[in-house]
Amino acid sequence: MNKMNFGNKDLELTELEKRFSQILREQRPSAGFYHSLRDELSRSKIFELRRSLGAILVASFAALFAGALSASIILLAHKSRRRLTV
């Protein structure tokens, strides 16, 4: 009986999802509005600043990673050289 109850709940959830998808499909903006808004936002100064800030962050993280990798390699080489001389 417990499995049957879960089956009914799954069916109810599926029906609810179908209803929501039908309702939300009617609320979507038109493609023309979407493209004009996207073009307007892409020309916006705030999005240009956001893109440049993102590029700066990516470059900073890359430099940080390269520095950490270099330091690890140098430390490993120093330890291995110390083992060979002892």
pLDDT for position 40:
87
Handedness of CA 58, 61, 67, 70 (dihedral sign): negative
pTM: 0.49
What pLDDT score does 86 carry?
63
Task: Note the pLDDT tens digit of each residue in 36-83.
Answer: 988 888 888 888 898 899 999 999 999 999 999 999 999 999 998 888
Residue type, 77: A
Q: State how far the Cα of 84 lies from the Cα of 76, in Å rounded to an integer.
A: 12
Rounded to the nearest angstrom, the gap between the alpha carbon of residue 25 and the centroid of all alpha carbons in its chain is 25
DSSP secondary structure, 43-66, as one string: TSHHHHHHHHHHHHHHHHHHHHHH
The pLDDT, as a whole number, for residue 29 is 75
